[in-house]
Amino acid sequence: MIFNKNVKDNKLFNTIIIFLLLIFILVALYIYRGLQNKINVKELSFINKELTIETNEVIKLNYQSEPNYLPSNFEWTTSNEEVATIDNRGYLKTLSPGEVTITIKANNMEAQCIIKVIEK
């Protein structure tokens, strides 16, 4: 009978420990995501404000930030996905002739680059 009580107590103890570990992991993830989204950018600009590129090309758009953050820390957008697309690492793929504005954002700062896409 005493042995059974200890087994029940151990199961309860283990359940509580697992529950507390799960809460700890969830809180750590919440804090990490919050810190990841709160980068403190003081300056942000593209190296080239305007570029002319042929269709079916892939290039990495170069930018400067102070402090220097990885491209994945920023939000990258294109004004026209039919002309060119941009991924979260700053790689631009030109699709068809036209003009597109690429915007990079962080906090309240943003920079823009105008891309003119011409036929190959």
pLDDT in tens, 57-85: 999 999 998 888 777 778 999 999 999 99
Verify that 107 and 53 share a domain, yes or no. yes
Verify that 25 and 55 share a domain, yes or no. no
pLDDT mean across residues, the chain:
86
Instruction: Report how far residue 100's alpha carbon sits from residue 26's, in angstroms, rounded to the nearest whole number.
Output: 40
Verify that 55 and 25 share a domain, yes or no. no
The H or E element that residue 54 is part of is: strand 50-54
Verify that 48 and 98 share a domain, yes or no. yes
**Portion of the chain with pLDDT greater than 90, in percent:** 49
Higher pLDDT, 106 or 53: 53
Verify that 71 and 52 share a domain, yes or no. yes
Q: What is the CATH number of the domain that holds 61?
A: 2.60.40.1080
For the chain, counts of helices (H) and of strands (E):
1, 9
Verify that 22 and 50 share a domain, yes or no. no
**Residue 25 belongs to what domain range?**
1-38
Report the predicted TM-score, pTM, of the whole model to 2 decimal places. Answer: 0.67
Verify that 15 and 55 share a domain, yes or no. no
